Amino acid sequence: MKQPLMITQAHIERYDVSGPRYTSYPTADRFVEAFDAAAYLKASEQRNISHWAQPLSVYVHIPFCASLCFYCACNKIVTKRYEQSEIYLNYLQRELALHLDQFAQAQVVNQLHLGGGTPTFLSDDALTRLIDMLKQAFVFSKEGEYAIEIDPRTVDEQRLQHLRQLGFNRLSFGVQDFDAAVQQAVHRVQPFAQVDTLMQQARVMGFQSINVDLIYGLPKQTPQTFRETISQVITLRPDRIALYGYAHLPSRFKPQRRILQEDLPNAVDKIQMLSEAIQQLIQAGYVYIGMDHFALPEDTLAIAKQQGRLHRNFQGYSTMADQDILALGVSAIGKMGASYSQNAKTLEEYYDFIDQGQLPIVRGLALSRDDLIRRAVIMAIMCHGELSYESIELSYMIQFNTYFQTELQQLVDKATQGLVVLEEDGLKVTDMGWYFVRAIAMVFDRYLQHDANRARFSKIL
């Protein structure tokens, strides 16, 4: 990526707007209650009829947290009652059995992700029980990616060793920021030395990939303090880095109401944080994967980008093909064929469905042909930063210039601003355009074209 980038105040003012992150298209806010468990079962049956042999990806949502982080927008339950996890595992096992009843043959799993909440809220015994449950249900590939999100405050060397013995080969450390004032402001205090020690221990144990999550735009952050956090992260040398922009939506997420608006950095400072972080990481040898992800050149994510095999799913950028996702747990989102589904968002409702012997799916979406076409376009932009019109035309039997005539006209303005290059046979996102890639993708989002209520999304910057 070439530097410097001539981002102007006009760019910042124009694109300090809300928009989707596009971990899926259509986005989850478009799911409808008309898509229920019965609709999901039809999608599962189609997998059986077609004898679809593609491995599954499994996502398990663990909603519990021992303490509240004020920035959090995840579905979580803050509690010190660790016995709740045993009850939850009972229901997870029953939900899993309901899913297994739908498959005609044993399913191969090559990707597992435990998210939350805080997955390491579970005790060692509870984690063992969960993994045993999954291994009895599926055939796990020896070459698979098995990841768990880590709150550094909840693990030590012994716990890391237990995770490795269970078969996890990837860790994601929730760091967010190392500045003491920022950590106090978001109610998540975890010293640099603690994370450093854990990461060194994890490397000795042979974890294949270690990710660090960071957030820019948090209260009390400044370009200077965040520059120091990035420098500290570089010394840790994680294999991957996810650098997210903070989404301040206090009307939707109650914990964020504890954050004072005047403590938040403005859009100018946020773009400086992002710009400088990108420069620091690239100079340190990281590959800019796109939007919010970085990886060392030898990491499989960087290799996938180089080879044009990058994908995007509900966990962000991925090396795995666009495969079905079996989602377990409260609020978990899955994908089966050309459909998305989401479980009940509260424990009470989730438990109630399973007590009735029903899958706890409360909403979802069966994708239309137009959805599939636009998804292909948006994911090409988000993953590869370029789009071949011919590839879409051949895959979906359309005339691209005709089908997307309005959208291409809208892109002319973004081309004038230096965000995208329009060519006769395709388009390319510029180096500067990567800062605003969500805005470029939004042009092709049919649901946003007549949507005046975008405030439910996070800010692009």
Output the known binding site for S-adenosyl-L-methionine: 59, 71-73, 116-118, 149, 176, 188, 213, 247, 333
Separation in Å, CA 296 to CA 238, 315, 382: 8, 19, 19
Do the Cβ atoms of 205 and 166 come closer than 8 Å? Answer: no
> Cβ of 122: how many Cβ atoms within 10 Å?
24
Give dist(CA 74, CA 429) in Å, integer. 30
Let me know how long the chain is. 461
Amino acid at 6: M
Binding residues for [4Fe-4S] cluster: 65, 69, 72
Measure the CA dihedral 41/47/48/50, to 10°.
140
Q: CB pairs under 8 A, 24+ apart, for 304-311?
A: 305/383, 305/384, 308/384, 310/383, 310/384, 311/379, 311/383
User: What is the residue-wise DSSP string for 157-184?
Assistant: HHHHHHHHHHT--EEEEEEE---HHHHH
Binding residues: 59, 65, 69, 71-73, 116-118, 149, 176, 188, 213, 247, 333
Separation in Å, CA 120 to CA 2, 44, 155, 205, 310: 40, 31, 7, 18, 28
Going by C-alpha positions, the residue among 82, 89, 48 that lies closest to residue 64 is: 82
Do the Cβ atoms of 63 and 116 come closer than 8 Å? Answer: yes
